A and B are shown apart, each in its own frame.
Chain A
């Protein structure tokens, strides 16, 4: 909640920055808004945009030299917008006398010498601020140099209308007035008036006013710069600078403070023009007359309009809340909500996938992940995080950090480990058989002992903003690493490598993809063409992405790229999005799945499963390297679902302990036989109960004596719940030989 940090984040989002046209204009006329009005045919509104910015709008509409047009980004895709023509159209079809607002009358007298655009603008602006303004014109009429331009260029009507402002504002105009030639005369005038402004043409000296403030060495005397008065819009600008300087001077305020954004400056707004179709400007049928209404509307329609929204374009989450990062940041920290109710803000905070795509596409690299994580941490700390948001995910992580799953062993027959394999909890959940195959492969190819660590790196807790649980998980993983003698870790999980890289830099870690020796495995030929989906965790880790691709190429896969490198999207699991906002996660996955019709290949177990859930055919790279024995199509493999994932993990540990380290609870593992009739096997298959589970249940019952007896048949009922499923097995027999009669299961827990 650091205010400074919040302000920095807000300033990184440029969506609210002025477009190129408005920032190129010294008066900051919002030409983008004007074009929007013109496009709709609302020329009156378009004209009022101009009138809001300049004191002589009708004149400016006709004579402006339009520096805005020179910066117009439309030039990247066709001709720049004919802003000048649009302004003229607004003047013609919607021009009206602007309503003049006079602030409270102030009792100060100001003299303006010279009545070209600069002087006239200064006079009007100062009069609007409430000062008593007198205008001295050496000639017989105002705006002398403009009158010679001809009606075709600048209609007399325009001059007349704008100059009516002088009367309305009670500006005293004196014609045929001799202007002062020397300092003495100027000082004399200075006694009569509280402040003086001289247009450059009316200033008798060669030295000019200070370029930023127009102040001269005489306090209260301000003078214009000749070079600026060549350009009509700059002349108006100069008048506005003078008006501000005089206003500040008379109020005793600093002349220089906070004036950096006055005048033209380079726009910070980024507009991606790459995909815009080039369009030529609309030519008026009668150039003398200028645009007709229709022509103006058509030309105005060529305005993009400029806006950034680069992140919103690529992210379902940012699109969902119909806003952009600057506003999100503000609303999170001001505790306001986009829609009513505190819970809506919580949902918004918990729905971000933390995938980093916005940061990559943002011209200023604003990281919503950074903002959101800080917010989540704050919520957890202050007890405001709704438990249901991440409860399932944190419970799952608790399972992964419990004895049911954790393990840290040296290779069987070794007392030390040069390296250790960290498969990650999701691969262990969906494809425990791959963990076994990879570990076997590493043992065959690496000297010095390959240890095994089954653990969770804590990423779910980090994503949930739960720093305490995250620290615990990291501590446990570190302890396992130290216990094995601090070997180099080889991991199959992108989230693990990311977490270790960012938060446990002391642990050396490498991605598995460089450590697979295909020559040794000699897998069958892979499918011809697959589209690679990079998991979002390793977005910036080129070597991981490259490693996976090298392996795929070795497998003979023709790789299709889904996007430019670094622009992968999340599958919906990142940031725990699928727990906090399943609908949005679905859309995120769906959008990604729809990017190509080709089957996907990825190297994150979670990504693969999430695509499968959306009906998108996807394989894990390990499916290609270690194809299933039964020849089943790996792309058609379904997402195992949340309970089966936990069982997968638990089963993996038990199997490894038993098969590799020869550790089981029951010594009678070799001692007993299990007889299962064909019909019973079929029933088990139908009920999706593994023989493995039946065996373990019987083992458990026999070892602990925890079983029920059915006096009628004399059969025993074993009951066993290894993780999320309770198995009941009806069996009979003894002394090392048992017969299974029936088995069923349920997920509900009963106490």
Chain B
């Protein structure tokens, strides 16, 4: 699970999704984001960090909901819709002080990150004690077949989450008290919409260029019974002493 993201542009990055008319480019759209935030029970004005924020549309939405939101986006070629929404940084190295965030949101971003163990560690660091980690992403409802997905090149599919692994990792980083909801229907609708308006699932899952065929992708999705989940975890008190990097607003 460690291909360089830049080598294989995903559907988001080629702008295809933007053209498909989705309001927010991830399964469930704004509705799911709202539901996730509401389920997390955050106070007004809470500081939320959005990982893999892209053009910052979710950050905008969060701000209209009354939160102090900021996005984190590593790619220089993903222009932010306005300045001041996002900072240029990687999720493995967040430019925020210890315990400074009330919540961290990772919507459809863990699965495309190389090493999410380090990302979890960073989240544990920047979250205040009792802060919420909100993750929505692809997962294998049938984890026995995960090998088939991981054999595909770098993409959201190869990176799909295995629930037990994620939960073990969360525990190891001091997270507790999770909510777990299945939102596989949102994934189905998301994929269906892409199919209807754009192209093949191959493009959507960003395997274009790795040689994975539509059949292999479909087979992997079916075998793993790929679904979509929402998880909310509460941060314990594991604060590392890594100093924050400098902030570069974009």
- Direct A–B contact in complex, judged by CB atoms less than 8 Å apart: yes
Check A341 against B232 for contact (C-beta < 8 Å): yes
- Which residues from chain A contact B182 at a C-beta distance below 8 Å? 583
Residue of A340, A347, A388 ringed by the most chain B CB atoms within 10 A: A340
CB of B176, distance to nearest CB on chain A (Å): 11
Question: Complex: how many Å from CA A347 to CA B182?
Answer: 11
Question: Complex: how many Å from CA A26 to CA B180?
Answer: 45
CB of A32, distance to nearest CB on chain B (Å): 28
The reply on A147 being an interface residue by CB < 8 A is: no
Q: Pick from B141, B179, B185: contact of A339, CB below 8 A.
A: B179
Question: Complex: how many Å from CA A339 to CA B40?
Answer: 11
Q: Could you tell me which residues of chain A, from 297 to 352, have a CB within 8 Å of some CB in chain B?
A: 339-344, 347
The reply on B181 being an interface residue by CB < 8 A is: yes
The reply on B219 being an interface residue by CB < 8 A is: no
Q: Pick from B177, B181, B234: contact of A343, CB below 8 A.
A: B181
Question: Complex: how many Å from CA A347 to CA B179?
Answer: 12
- Which residues from chain A contact B177 at a C-beta distance below 8 Å? 339-340
**0/1 per residue, B21-63, Cβ < 8 Å to A?**
0000000000000000001010000000000000000000000
Check B39 against A340 for contact (C-beta < 8 Å): yes
The reply on B178 being an interface residue by CB < 8 A is: yes
Question: Complex: how many Å from CA A342 to CA B179?
Answer: 10
Q: Could you tell me which residues of chain A, from 357 to 406, have a CB within 8 Å of some CB in chain B?
A: 388
Check B141 against A340 for contact (C-beta < 8 Å): no
CB of B141, distance to nearest CB on chain A (Å): 7
Nearest opposing residue in chain B for A337, CB measure: B179
Q: Could you tell me which residues of chain B, from 221 to 250, have a CB within 8 Å of some CB in chain A?
A: 232, 234
Q: Could you tell me which residues of chain B, from 155 to 185, have a CB within 8 Å of some CB in chain A?
A: 177-182, 185
- Which residues from chain A contact B179 at a C-beta distance below 8 Å? 339-341, 343-344
Nearest opposing residue in chain B for A582, CB measure: B182
**0/1 per residue, B169-212, Cβ < 8 Å to A?**
00000000111111001000000000000000000000000000
Check A339 against B178 for contact (C-beta < 8 Å): yes
- Which residues from chain A contact B180 at a C-beta distance below 8 Å? 339
- Which residues from chain B contact A583 at a C-beta distance below 8 Å? 141, 182
Question: Complex: how many Å from CA A347 to CA B185?
Answer: 16
**0/1 per residue, A184-221, Cβ < 8 Å to B?**
00000000000000000000000000000000000000
Main secondary structure of the interface of A (DSSP, over half): helix
CB of A645, distance to nearest CB on chain B (Å): 20
Question: Complex: how many Å from CA A323 to CA B4?
Answer: 45
- Which residues from chain A contact B39 at a C-beta distance below 8 Å? 340-343
Check B41 against A340 for contact (C-beta < 8 Å): yes
- Which residues from chain B contact A341 at a C-beta distance below 8 Å? 39, 41, 179, 181, 232
- Which residues from chain B contact A388 at a C-beta distance below 8 Å? 185
CB of A384, distance to nearest CB on chain B (Å): 14
Question: Complex: how many Å from CA A341 to CA B232?
Answer: 9
Question: Complex: how many Å from CA A342 to CA B141?
Answer: 23
Check A340 against B232 for contact (C-beta < 8 Å): yes
Question: Complex: how many Å from CA A340 to CA B232?
Answer: 8
- Which residues from chain B contact A342 at a C-beta distance below 8 Å? 39
- Which residues from chain A contact B141 at a C-beta distance below 8 Å? 583
CB of B225, distance to nearest CB on chain A (Å): 10
Question: Complex: how many Å from CA A119 to CA B179?
Answer: 55
- Which residues from chain A contact B178 at a C-beta distance below 8 Å? 339
CB of B187, distance to nearest CB on chain A (Å): 14
- Which residues from chain B contact A340 at a C-beta distance below 8 Å? 39, 41, 177, 179, 232, 234
- Which residues from chain B contact A339 at a C-beta distance below 8 Å? 177-180
Question: Complex: how many Å from CA A339 to CA B234?
Answer: 11
CB of B234, distance to nearest CB on chain A (Å): 8
CB of A731, distance to nearest CB on chain B (Å): 29
Nearest opposing residue in chain B for A581, CB measure: B182
CB of B36, distance to nearest CB on chain A (Å): 10
Q: Could you tell me which residues of chain A, from 51 to 97, have a CB within 8 Å of some CB in chain B?
A: none
- Which residues from chain A contact B232 at a C-beta distance below 8 Å? 340-341
CB of B16, distance to nearest CB on chain A (Å): 23
Question: Complex: how many Å from CA A438 to CA B180?
Answer: 47
Question: Complex: how many Å from CA A583 to CA B143?
Answer: 14
Question: Complex: how many Å from CA A388 to CA B28?
Answer: 14
CB of A417, distance to nearest CB on chain B (Å): 45
Nearest opposing residue in chain A for B227, CB measure: A583
Q: Could you tell me which residues of chain B, from 85 to 103, have a CB within 8 Å of some CB in chain A?
A: none
Residue of A339, A341, A342, A344 ringed by the most chain B CB atoms within 10 A: A341
- Which residues from chain B contact A347 at a C-beta distance below 8 Å? 181
Nearest opposing residue in chain A for B35, CB measure: A343
- Which residues from chain B contact A343 at a C-beta distance below 8 Å? 39, 179, 181
- Which residues from chain B contact A344 at a C-beta distance below 8 Å? 179, 181
CB of B171, distance to nearest CB on chain A (Å): 15
- Which residues from chain A contact B234 at a C-beta distance below 8 Å? 340
CB of B174, distance to nearest CB on chain A (Å): 17
Question: Complex: how many Å from CA A344 to CA B178?
Answer: 11
CB of A392, distance to nearest CB on chain B (Å): 11
CB of A577, distance to nearest CB on chain B (Å): 14
Nearest opposing residue in chain A for B184, CB measure: A582
- Which residues from chain A contact B41 at a C-beta distance below 8 Å? 340-341
Question: Complex: how many Å from CA A109 to CA B250?
Answer: 78
Question: Complex: how many Å from CA A343 to CA B41?
Answer: 12
Question: Complex: how many Å from CA A701 to CA B106?
Answer: 53
CB of B154, distance to nearest CB on chain A (Å): 29
Question: Complex: how many Å from CA A290 to CA B181?
Answer: 54
Question: Complex: how many Å from CA A343 to CA B232?
Answer: 12
CB of A327, distance to nearest CB on chain B (Å): 16
**0/1 per residue, B128-157, Cβ < 8 Å to A?**
000000000000010000000000000000
Nearest opposing residue in chain A for B36, CB measure: A341
Nearest opposing residue in chain A for B180, CB measure: A339
CB of B40, distance to nearest CB on chain A (Å): 8
- Which residues from chain A contact B185 at a C-beta distance below 8 Å? 388
Nearest opposing residue in chain A for B181, CB measure: A343
CB of A343, distance to nearest CB on chain B (Å): 7
Question: Complex: how many Å from CA A554 to CA B177?
Answer: 56
Residue of A339, A342, A347, A388 ringed by the most chain B CB atoms within 10 A: A339
A-B contact pairs, 25 of them (CB 8 A): A339-B177, A339-B178, A339-B179, A339-B180, A340-B39, A340-B41, A340-B177, A340-B179, A340-B232, A340-B234, A341-B39, A341-B41, A341-B179, A341-B181, A341-B232, A342-B39, A343-B39, A343-B179, A343-B181, A344-B179, A344-B181, A347-B181, A388-B185, A583-B141, A583-B182
**Top-8 shortest CB links A-B:** A341-B39, A341-B179, A340-B179, A339-B179, A344-B179, A340-B177, A340-B232, A343-B39
Using CB atoms and an 8 Å cutoff, list the residues of chain B in contact with chain A: 39, 41, 141, 177-182, 185, 232, 234
16 further A-B pairs in the complex, CB-CB below 8 A; given A339-B179, A583-B182: A339-B178, A340-B39, A340-B177, A340-B179, A341-B41, A341-B179, A341-B181, A341-B232, A342-B39, A343-B39, A343-B179, A343-B181, A344-B179, A344-B181, A388-B185, A583-B141
Using CB atoms and an 8 Å cutoff, list the residues of chain A in contact with chain B: 339-344, 347, 388, 583
